[in-house]
A and B are shown apart, each in its own frame.
Chain A
Amino acid sequence: QKEVEQNSGPLSVPEGAIASLNCTYSDRGSQSFFWYRQYSGKSPELIMSIYSNGDKEDGRFTAQLNKASQYVSLLIRDSQPSDSATYLCAVSQTGNNRKLIWGLGTSLAVNP
C-alpha cells in the first residue's frame, strides 16, 4: 500500500488560473511535509515546507496541511507556463531517524 499518494495527472490549467495539487499520507503521526518541484531533466528543488496545521504562504504558493484528514495540498496562484513541472510531495515519518516518504508526483501543465 502506497504511503504517500498523489494524482499523477497531467493536470492542465490555463495561464493565470489557480493550480491545486493534492497529497494524502497514511502515517497519522507524520510531522514534516514538503513540496518539491522537478523540471524535466532536472533535479527536484524545494518549493515549500509545512509542519503545522493550516496554511503557509510564500509568494504565489500556498501549502495547506490538515493532519486530521491526512492531506497536504499546494496551491499555485496566477499559474505561469514556467510552473509546468512535476510536483513531488514528501512526508517525514515518525519514529527513529524519520524516514522521508515520497509520492510519485503530479505533472502540471500551464497552457499559455
Chain B
Amino acid sequence: KAGVTQTPRYLIKTRGQQVTLSCSPISGHRSVSWYQQTPGQGLQFLFEYFSETQRNKGNFPGRFSGRQFSNSRSEMNVSTLELGDSALYLCASSEQGAGANVLTFGAGSRLTVL
C-alpha cells in the first residue's frame, strides 16, 4: 500500500512569489490535513479537508489556502511569500478525519523563501 506522497520535496522561492504544494493520500483515505513545522514552533495546523470540503482551519492568514480534489489529492497554495513562510510543510492522511483516526504523514515539502 503506497504511503502519503508529497511533491515537491524541496523548493526555493523568493519573497512575493507564490507556491503550490501537492499531497496524495493513502488510497481510501478521505481526510488530508496540512501542517507547518518550524524549529521551536512545533506542528502548526493549517487546514483539514474531507471529501473535498474544508473541515477545519487553523490560525493562518488568507495567503494560505488549499483544496481537495475528487480523488482525495490535495493542494495547498501560499501567495505573496514572506521570509517567515520558510518551513517544512507536512500533509497527513486518515480514513475518517484527524481527530478520529491515526494520521499517516508524508515526507514533507521543505520551502525556503529568500
Residues of A within 8 A of B (CB): 31-32, 34, 36, 42-46, 49, 88, 92-93, 97-100, 102-105
Given A43-B90, A43-B108, A102-B42, CB of A97 within 8 Å of CB of B99: yes
What are 29 A-B contacts with C-beta separation under 8 Å? Answer: A32-B100, A34-B102, A34-B103, A36-B103, A42-B107, A43-B105, A43-B106, A43-B107, A43-B108, A44-B43, A44-B90, A44-B103, A46-B102, A46-B103, A46-B104, A92-B100, A93-B99, A97-B55, A97-B56, A98-B97, A98-B99, A99-B56, A99-B99, A100-B33, A100-B99, A102-B45, A103-B42, A104-B41, A105-B42
Which residue of chain A has the shortest Cβ distance to B105 in the bound complex? A43
CB–CB B97/A97 < 8 A:
yes
The answer to whether B98 has its CB under 8 Å from any CB of chain A is yes
Q: What's the nearest-Cβ distance from chain A to residue B1, in Å?
A: 15
Which residue of chain A has the shortest Cβ distance to B44 in the bound complex? A102
Q: What's the nearest-Cβ distance from chain A to residue B23, in Å?
A: 12
Report how many A-B pairs have Cβ atoms within 8 Å: 53
Interface size, chain B (Cβ < 8 Å):
20
For A44, the chain B residues whose CB sits under 8 A away are 43, 90, 103, 105
CB–CB B99/A49 < 8 A:
no
CB–CB B43/A102 < 8 A:
yes
Given A43-B107, A97-B56, A99-B56, CB of A104 within 8 Å of CB of B42: yes
Q: What's the nearest-Cβ distance from chain A to residue B68, in Å?
A: 15
CB–CB A88/B102 < 8 A:
no
CB–CB A49/B43 < 8 A:
no
A-contacting residues, B44-59, CB 8 Å? 45, 48, 55-56
Measured CA separation A97–B90 after assembly (Å): 20
